[in-house]
Each structure stands twice: as structure tokens, then as C-alpha cells.
């Protein structure tokens, strides 16, 4: 059954809801779905509903389920990279189960665009996250926080395990990962050119542990995704799937 994102704060069985114009056009013009056909809708807050299409592009919610919250909440602090690399990070990070993205400028990163161009870029990033969540069936939509300075992000991102990916670290990831599953993990990844020593010292002062992912230097769009996959396997829902 086809699934779509519907930004509603609460889905209730038996209610009739009008669809947003963009979704209306997609269902009618692109997919050519007819009244009486069924679809699924998720609100990004963990609710998933089976719905039947009615006349006038409305839907009736037939059944509503609630997806449990993540076993281990994952946050990625990403230094803004160049080009379209960020779109890949947001898309694949969402598929891997990242729950929160902080995007921040760093010493070796690009600056955010200004005014209307920035808003268009932010809208596009949100669309990428929504589509990746729909495709991967991640019913808790990741939060996107943009434009906060690195010191503020480091202080704001609360977790019981804080990791700094830094190629100059001689500490392996295996040395710092706890055996008992943490409830929240935050990972800081620098842009192209890596993290400066001053930034690394700022992160360490906020409780981040500097680690290396081995002898290879990974690109910024690879490093965060690699460690998120590892963390999901060890502590997240990939581990649950493995044990079931």
C-alpha cells in the first residue's frame, strides 16, 4: 500500500481530512488514484493511518497505529559541506534512522545562503527528509536544526554518549563504545577539510570523545553515515531486527 506524509498533529480513526494541494495533485494527476482506493498516511510523530480516498480529495481514516519511539536516539551534527553532499547526508541519514540533524558552519565549511535562496534550500532539505522517511518507513520524522553556531550546538545536543569523529585521534571507536546500550548518541562530523584543533578542543570540553574510524580518511558524506549504521546495528533497531 502506498504511504504518504501528512503534517497533522494527531490522526484519529473515523475522521475525514482534506489533503494538502501538493499531495492532492500527486494522487490524482501522477498516480491517478480513484475514490475508494486505500493509502497509508504518517504524520511524522509516530502515527500511521490506513485511509480510504473519498470525493473532493478527502480521506477517511479507517485505522490508526502508533510506531514506538526509537530504541536509541541518534543525533548528527554536520559541518556544512559543499555542493549536493548535504542532500545525500540528509537522505541516507534519515533512511538509517537519524532522529535529529544539526547543520552548522565550521572553520572549514561553507556559509549558509542568505534571504530567499536560503529559505528555498531549507524547504528542499525538509522535502528530502520527508521523502526519505516515507520511503524507508521512518514514522518519526527527523528534526532539522539549521544555522546555530558550533558552540551552541555542542552545548544543546544532550546525550549520554557524545562522539567526535576526528582523523587526528588515536582512539578507536571500539575503545569508547559502551557495552550497555545508551539511550541517546550524538556524533559530530566536520566538513571537507575536517575539524580544526580548536573546534576539537571545544567539543572535548563539552564531553565529546574524539575517535577515529580507522586508517582510511572518509569523506564528510561517508563518515557520518558509516558511524550511524554502526550505532544502529549495536544499539538501535537494526540490532532489534537481528535479535528477532
Selected residue with higher pLDDT from 243 and 48 = 48
Mean predicted lDDT score pLDDT of the chain: 91
Cell triple for residue 124? 528542499
Q: For 66, how many CA atoms within 13 A lie in the half-sphere containing its CB?
A: 8
Domain count, the chain: 2
Q: Are residues 35 and 124 in the same domain?
A: no
Q: Are residues 49 and 80 in the same domain?
A: no
pLDDT-above-90 percentage for the chain:
75
Q: Are residues 78 and 41 in the same domain?
A: no
The 10 Å Cβ neighbour count of residue 60 is 15
Q: Are residues 100 and 15 in the same domain?
A: no
Cell triple for residue 64? 490508526
Question: What's the pLDDT band for 244 if we cut at 50, 70, 90?
Answer: very low
pLDDT of res. 242: 47
What is the mean pLDDT of the segment spanning 121-150?
A: 93
Q: Are residues 34 and 135 in the same domain?
A: no
pLDDT of res. 121: 87
Task: Mark which of 25, 46, 66 sits at the end of a domain.
Answer: 66
Q: Are residues 89 and 183 in the same domain?
A: yes
- Are 136 and 92 in contact, with CB atoms under 8 Å apart? no
Task: Mark which of 66, 86, 108 sits at the end of a domain.
Answer: 66
Phi, then psi, of 112 in degrees rounded to 5:
-65, 150
pLDDT-above-70 percentage for the chain:
95
Q: Are residues 112 and 220 in the same domain?
A: yes
Q: Are residues 238 and 123 in the same domain?
A: yes
Core vs surface per residue 76-97: b (16+ CB within 10 A) or e: bbbbbbeeebbbebbbbbbbbb
pLDDT tens digit sequence for 102-127? 999 999 887 665 666 778 888 999 99
Q: What is the CATH number of the domain that holds 28?
A: 2.40.240.20
pLDDT of res. 118: 78
Nearest to 64 by CA among 52, 42, 53, 49: 49
Q: Are residues 43 and 154 in the same domain?
A: no
- Are 60 and 109 in contact, with CB atoms under 8 Å apart? no
pLDDT of res. 68: 92
pLDDT of res. 82: 84
Q: Are residues 81 and 40 in the same domain?
A: no
Q: How far is CA 189 from CA 88, 168, 183, 210, 222, in A?
A: 14, 13, 20, 11, 10
Q: Are residues 164 and 179 in the same domain?
A: yes
pTM: 0.90
pLDDT of res. 239: 65
The 10 Å Cβ neighbour count of residue 18 is 11
Cell triple for residue 47? 502515527
Task: Mark which of 66, 95, 119 sits at the end of a domain.
Answer: 66
What is the mean pLDDT of the segment spanning 135-141?
A: 95
Q: Are residues 57 and 79 in the same domain?
A: no
pLDDT tens digit sequence for 170-206? 999 999 999 999 999 999 999 998 899 999 999 999 9
Where in the sequence is the domain holding 183, given as residue range(s)? 73-243
Please, is 236 exposed, middle or buried when counting C-beta atoms within 10 Å of its C-beta (0-12, 13-18, 19+)? buried
Q: What is the CATH number of the domain that holds 202?
A: 3.40.1280.10
Amino acid at each position: 500500500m502506498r504511504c504518504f506524509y501528512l503534517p497533522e498533529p494527531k490522526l484519529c480513526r473515523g475522521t475525514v481530512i482534506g489533503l494538502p494541494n501538493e499531495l492532492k495533485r500527486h494522487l490524482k494527476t501522477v498516480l491517478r488514484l480513484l475514490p475508494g482506493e486505500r493509502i497509508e498516511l504518517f504524520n511524522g510523530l509516530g502515527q500511521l493511518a490506513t485511509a480510504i480516498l473519498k470525493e473532493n480529495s478527502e480521506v477517511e481514516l479507517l485505522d490508526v497505529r502508533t510506531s514506538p519511539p526509537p530504541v536509541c536516539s541518534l543525533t548528527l551534527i554536520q559541518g556544512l559541506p559543499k555542493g549536493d553532499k548535504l542532500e545525500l547526508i540528509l537522505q541516507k541519514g534519515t533512511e538509517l534512522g537519524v532522529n535529529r540533524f544539526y547543520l552548522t558552519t565550521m572553520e572549514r565549511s561553507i556559509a549558509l545562503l542568505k534571504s530567499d535562496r536560503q529559505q528555498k534550500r531549507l524547504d528542499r532539505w525538509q522535502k528530502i527528509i520527508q521523502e526519505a522517511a516515507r520511503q524507508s518507513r521512518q514514522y518519526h520524522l527527523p528534526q532539522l536544526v539549521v544555522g546555530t553556531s558550533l558552540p551552541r550546538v555542542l552545548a544543546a545536543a544532550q546525550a549520554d554518549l557524545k562522539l567526535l569523529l576526528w582523523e587526528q585521534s588515536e582512539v578507536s571507536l571500539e575503545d569508547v563504545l559502551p557495552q550497555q546500550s545508551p539511550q541517546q548518541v550524538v556524533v559530530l562530523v566536520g566538513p571537507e577539510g575536517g575539524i580544526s584543533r580548536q573546534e576539537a578542543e571545544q567539543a572535548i570540553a563539552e564531553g565529546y570523545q574524539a575517535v577515529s574510524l580507522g586508517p582510511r580518511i572518509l569523506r564528510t558524506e561517508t563518515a557520518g553515515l558509516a558511524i550511524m549504521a554502526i550505532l544502529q546495528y549495536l544499539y538501535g533497531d537494526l540490532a532489534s531486527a537481528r535479535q528477532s
